[in-house]
Amino acid sequence: MLVKVKGKAIKLNGRWCYKGETEEITLEQYEGKEKYLEIVKADKEVKELPQVPGEDIVEEQSQEETEVDEEEIEKVEEENQQEEKQEETEVDEELEALKEKAKSLDIKVTANMKKETIIKKIQEKEEDQNQTKNEE
């Protein structure tokens, strides 16, 4: 049967499926996860799914698993954001160092320049200085 995820995320067929995604699963996989899934297309006419004894317990366990998985997802997202901030900081530090070098070489208006432009200007200025020294 083809199902669509109603909750935030649920593991189906060994992979995470998120809200709005569809996945082909068996009836056995569907049982106990009805709360989080919506049937898009059934293989057979399934008007009413069989009630499994202890289904409430399975649903509670599934909900606990989903809550734990959501926490894991949030942790991963936070780690990704921290890595991005660290990369931005590293780029900013490098850019500031380039601006300082450009300033020492008397290159003007580096505030709005991109990193690549500043590097190019520094290289040009250093080449000009080397040519001037060689001519003397």
- What is the reported pTM? 0.35
For residue 87, the tally of other CB atoms under 10 A from its CB is 10
Beta strands in the chain (DSSP E): 2-5, 9-12, 15-18, 22-24, 37-41
Banded model confidence at residue 58, pLDDT cuts 50, 70, 90: very low
Average pLDDT along the chain: 77
Per residue in 89-120, pLDDT (tens digit) is 777 788 888 888 888 888 877 677 788 888 88
| Tokens 């959501």, residue located | 70
Q: What's the Cα-to-Cα distance from 41 to each of 15, 25, 26, 30, 130, rounded to whole Å?
A: 20, 11, 12, 13, 74
The first and second tokens of residue 81, run together, are: 């954001």
Upper half-sphere CA count for residue 74 (Cβ side, 13 Å): 7
Q: What are phi and psi of 23, to 5 degrees?
A: -150, 145
Per residue in 29-41, pLDDT (tens digit) is 888 888 888 888 8
For residue 33, the tally of other CB atoms under 10 A from its CB is 21
Q: Where are the domains of the chain?
A: 1-50, 53-136
- Of 45, 4, 41, 42, which Cα lies nearest the Cα of 21? 4
